[in-house]
Structure 1
């Protein structure tokens, strides 16, 4: 007897080649087929009289064949003229046809035809409709329920997909399907089986408006289970991590008080609250995994400094990992500035160091002399050994893969506390679903005196007007960024674009020091340029998006972004955040190439209207979806079978309630849920 867990290759007539194609859709078993839901439906449940036909509507008609005609032109057409008993007429037009089709259309025969009604020169038409000649005993098109239309892959027809799904549904009727969710909802929602059968073959009287909007109770039942299962996976990870051994810090404020006294600014209430939340975790015997998020310029760095001071007070090591050398260098500069007066030894590791420098820094790390270690990906290489790593701080965490983070934490004797930071605010819906295993601290206020950046959109055709603007700002003693972008992900092309802009600006601003920085330069060259810019030796820096994060030059007050329509909202907001860091009023000019798409117009308008990173992040999520926002490293979490984090955000709270209930279930029930909703190759995203 067939089982719902059987592989799809067990279906008669479905060969290895087709099986491989279906695997690309995530379909490996008969159960996967029953969860492969239609993306729309056709209504063939009744025959529509031609007198009731509407233009652009899909309808099923039953008519008589009056005559056929082949139009003799370069692109031959087969025309089939039909009529009903009231002499209403319809023309079937075929641009591609066979001799068999032509012979099958016989005057006087009765035909059922389904398709979209169009208005032609001679009246109503259907082009390449689905049809059956019922008077020749062909199976009628009339169906008892709405007809599902499924997402397909290359080499698989709609008819074949329907056939395979229907075979799988027949097996489902006779199969037991673990439905733990029905138990915890106390049958307040439809069962899993009932939901699936309804969504594959809804009756005509079902609320199609609800189904199209994914608001039908049967869809909501599946969506909530999927969202809850994803959260369950993360909560299981969190529970397993909490059971690991870690070093509980004894909180000591000696160094913290010294640092606080040395600061020339006061911490905001939000920063103080976040420091307390982190300290509470550090004092626990359970390993911390906390997400620290805040808008551009909200002051995450100083919060991280207070965290690592607690590690130093307990004679442990703390590691800070950044995705780029520019950002790592910036951290080195900032952390040194804060920690110098506390006599805390800092080590720095990057890929561009020479052998001697690297050996010296690694010796400081291995001996434990360096209590604070800052670096790039170089930190998690096998040759790097820590004496007693107990706190890991990861900046711009979404730019690191899961395995990269794991390889750094594995360098600790006991599971280290982890603080992951992002300057890209994460919408609440993503935090609740994708980061459900992390505790979250939010810096939701900016330091006093922080300038809001004025944002202006300007057509590329007005580029020459910016020359005078740049001269004026430079005469006032302030500096300028000019950022170049390209659609292609080619560093060579980006550099070429920057070079053309650099030549244009250099020739028009000969009295200014104009310098270019891009990804093709060596790391040491980039460092020299950035240092010169920070020290005010460069008036105008022409750059690719390498300056997106980590660059802190308070004297820079003008940001110009070329072809801004090609970048996402969050990235543009990050770039804009490179200015407005001093006391002077700052401007960000978003240049664009006409004509703008509707999406690009929306993005630029949102940036012109708001400096609120959290609102911008939410809009970015709505416009681009979770896969784009999270990046390739996190797409295993973002891609779901039925649920959509943006569309279904209103169900996340309910899903959170049920995920906690699922955590109480048996291992067997939990496994059944996870195997159903999370592809095996994606489960490793939950290991960090």
Structure 2
């Protein structure tokens, strides 16, 4: 590896201990890291615009002679005014924050070159706090587009440019090692870096904005390859230790399936076969099961759990909320009670003696099946012989959390992992965020399930909707009314659950109305949900806490207020709470006018489709990977150059390159991961 990798930042002018500490916050610890800190966007300062041709809102360079320097106003409202003329017109430069030294340095007759955003002033074009410098040569144009770097307090754009200038000088003498196979007619690493730090004036600026310039694609390919290799390494580490071989010798899972009051779908049976094959080997299973809302993932998980229990091992089922974990507990208890399987519950709300009893049963092995929340992987929870970990709604947890749970085996082996999600993950994201997992898809709904009809209705027709709710309730159906806030807010135009509850309870005389939201205690929340499921309430006013885990077949109507505030995947999850029986079901998206064009287009996707995978793809296209995966996963997706879904066409090639590097150039793998992930690869070391 060449010297650029290890060259210290403090070898650069302007970098002392304090600046080095600030750069470290960006993951920059040497000169090569600095070269891979790439601009977010560019400004075109290569052409001077005549003052007479200035347009409101444009970012431009102007040049002219100082005609007047004066101070306007008094006290805190003082501003420095500079009049600049170039023969085609006059522009005003206005500085609200200035020093006496700055004022004295500006003299009538000085020639200035300025860059800033034009705004229409009272009499002539103005620039507020433009960047400026004295201009000696009229033809003194910038040689490249001006880069704007990702930055926060402590490092100015001017400092970034000076630092990157020096880094580019080092690059010319010590180019970084090429770690990808060289391809014909492609940018080399050094030329791509040089281009992106200082694009020439004639560069295709639209291509740069869209992320499709060949130089960007060259670096995106390398970054995605580094990420792919990092995920593969994590998978390899997860498989360093053997897992127990699990076979259903007692045929428990077959008894379970035969006792079900319905026939599993072909898709469920196919996924069960894939899981059964995984569990029968010493390689720890790492399988993601995706299935749309209501596709029957829990039945698949139960069959897997029985194989582990029949083999003499414990099973841990972890869900992100007590509400969802409680639903799993009820389902598993109903299915497993005839099989005489000991079940234990562990969540944050389990305290004192009950917690001690639960921990003792888990540690002794008395509890074959343990269901709970994140409390399962905390210190103090020890399993006697954990063989299978089932994680529901994986995107709500970090990767390290499921790995931490799979370590609590009680022996030298590693537990098999079955990951489930009802939030369909676009294939693009699966190939990147879940590259350490095998993927199974339950792509079939149980027979009799009808698609939910979805309509968009303006909130001005609210009274009509309330009347429709009354009709549904009086016909014996149940209804959800979903709000996006708990309390009223002056800053957000959204009806809160509390005010909607009061309004609906008053308007719907004789109809039992309940409310549930995330700030209620778990026991209160569970009591309300259980009562709603039992039919004691006809209308449930709720926040998005009902997104997962509630199965009420009699609920056939859902109203979602302010749906424009939620992502498509979340809306689809909410909508999946209705249509769980055989009756026709509907979802009303009650939006607030005026609705922007982009929001309307998003909501139209919900109206037109019930396909969770299509909706997830649209969510990715419109909102990006961080929003689709959830905050706990975004650390995996903070790319410097690569963008999804714009660069998804590179992913097939990325997999081929990663495979070739592992086979033919294993010595490059760690260097490539270090170059792009730096300290962020620590998650893979769990």
Residue-by-residue CA offset, 1:142-161 (whole Å, 9 max, x unaligned):
23333333333224333222
Does structure 1 residue 686 correspond to structure 2 residue 678? no
C-alpha displacement of 1:252: 4.5
For the 8 Å contact 1:4–1:30, the answer to whether it is kept is yes
For the 8 Å contact 2:320–2:373, the answer to whether it is kept is yes
**Partners of 2:523 and 2:68 in 1: CA distance:** 77
SS in 1 for 2:419: strand
C-alpha displacement of 1:425: 0.5
For the 8 Å contact 2:175–2:190, the answer to whether it is kept is no
Equivalent of 2:204, from 207, 212, 215? Answer: 207
Residue of structure 1 in register with 2:570 after alignment: 571
Residue-by-residue CA offset, 1:423-474 (whole Å, 9 max, x unaligned):
1001111100111110000111211211211222333343333332222112
Residue of structure 1 in register with 2:213 after alignment: 216
Residue of structure 2 in register with 1:418 after alignment: 417
**Partners of 1:104 and 1:378 in 2: CA distance:** 66
Shift of the 352–130 alpha-carbon distance from structure 1 to 2, 3 Å rule, reads closer
C-alpha displacement of 1:274: 0.9
Residue-by-residue CA offset, 1:152-211 (whole Å, 9 max, x unaligned):
322433322211110111112222522221xx2356522211111122223334433333
C-alpha displacement of 1:234: 0.5
Equivalent of 2:86, from 82, 89, 114? Answer: 82
**Partners of 1:537 and 1:121 in 2: CA distance:** 66
RMSD: 3.3
Shift of the 611–363 alpha-carbon distance from structure 1 to 2, 3 Å rule, reads same
For the 8 Å contact 1:4–1:171, the answer to whether it is kept is no
Q: How many residues align?
A: 674
Shift of the 488–663 alpha-carbon distance from structure 1 to 2, 3 Å rule, reads farther
Residue of structure 2 in register with 1:8 after alignment: 9
Does structure 1 residue 256 correspond to structure 2 residue 253? yes
Worse-matched range after superposition: 16-25 or 196-205: 16-25
Equivalent of 1:269, from 266, 270, 279? Answer: 266
Residue of structure 2 in register with 1:584 after alignment: 583
For the 8 Å contact 1:235–1:436, the answer to whether it is kept is yes
Worse-matched range after superposition: 651-660 or 346-355: 346-355
Shift of the 270–59 alpha-carbon distance from structure 1 to 2, 3 Å rule, reads same
**Partners of 1:648 and 1:110 in 2: CA distance:** 45
**Partners of 1:119 and 1:388 in 2: CA distance:** 73
Shift of the 39–406 alpha-carbon distance from structure 1 to 2, 3 Å rule, reads closer
Residue of structure 2 in register with 1:470 after alignment: 469
Residue of structure 2 in register with 1:86 after alignment: none
For the 8 Å contact 1:402–1:687, the answer to whether it is kept is no
- The answer for unaligned runs of 5 or more in structure 1 is 84-88
For the 8 Å contact 1:2–1:171, the answer to whether it is kept is no
Residue of structure 2 in register with 1:327 after alignment: 324
Residue of structure 1 in register with 2:40 after alignment: 39
SS in 2 for 1:320: strand
**Partners of 1:489 and 1:309 in 2: CA distance:** 47
**Partners of 2:325 and 2:649 in 1: CA distance:** 39
For the 8 Å contact 2:80–2:103, the answer to whether it is kept is no
For the 8 Å contact 1:320–1:393, the answer to whether it is kept is yes
Does structure 1 residue 441 correspond to structure 2 residue 440? yes
**Partners of 1:119 and 1:515 in 2: CA distance:** 55
For the 8 Å contact 2:488–2:499, the answer to whether it is kept is no
**Partners of 2:53 and 2:604 in 1: CA distance:** 44
C-alpha displacement of 1:31: 1.7
SS in 2 for 1:557: strand
SS in 2 for 1:663: helix
Equivalent of 2:186, from 176, 185, 189? Answer: 189
Does structure 1 residue 548 correspond to structure 2 residue 556? no
For the 8 Å contact 1:271–1:443, the answer to whether it is kept is yes
Residue of structure 2 in register with 1:241 after alignment: 238
For the 8 Å contact 1:452–1:580, the answer to whether it is kept is yes
SS in 2 for 1:436: coil
Shift of the 432–173 alpha-carbon distance from structure 1 to 2, 3 Å rule, reads same
Does structure 1 residue 232 correspond to structure 2 residue 236? no
Q: TM-score, normalised by structure 1?
A: 0.89
**Partners of 2:280 and 2:401 in 1: CA distance:** 26
SS in 2 for 1:641: coil
For the 8 Å contact 1:112–1:140, the answer to whether it is kept is no
Shift of the 66–18 alpha-carbon distance from structure 1 to 2, 3 Å rule, reads closer
Equivalent of 1:400, from 397, 400, 410? Answer: 397
Residue of structure 2 in register with 1:149 after alignment: 148
Residue-by-residue CA offset, 1:35-85 (whole Å, 9 max, x unaligned):
22223334455667889988876666666x4944759677563212222xx
Residue of structure 1 in register with 2:375 after alignment: 378
Residue of structure 2 in register with 1:633 after alignment: 632
For the 8 Å contact 2:66–2:83, the answer to whether it is kept is no
Residue-by-residue CA offset, 1:412-432 (whole Å, 9 max, x unaligned):
121011001011001111100
C-alpha displacement of 1:632: 2.5
Residue of structure 2 in register with 1:352 after alignment: 349
SS in 2 for 1:318: strand
**Partners of 1:508 and 1:121 in 2: CA distance:** 54
C-alpha displacement of 1:360: 4.4
For the 8 Å contact 2:291–2:443, the answer to whether it is kept is yes
Shift of the 204–357 alpha-carbon distance from structure 1 to 2, 3 Å rule, reads closer
Write the mapping of 1:291-330 to structure 2, written as runs, cut at 5 A: 291-330=288-327
C-alpha displacement of 1:269: 1.9
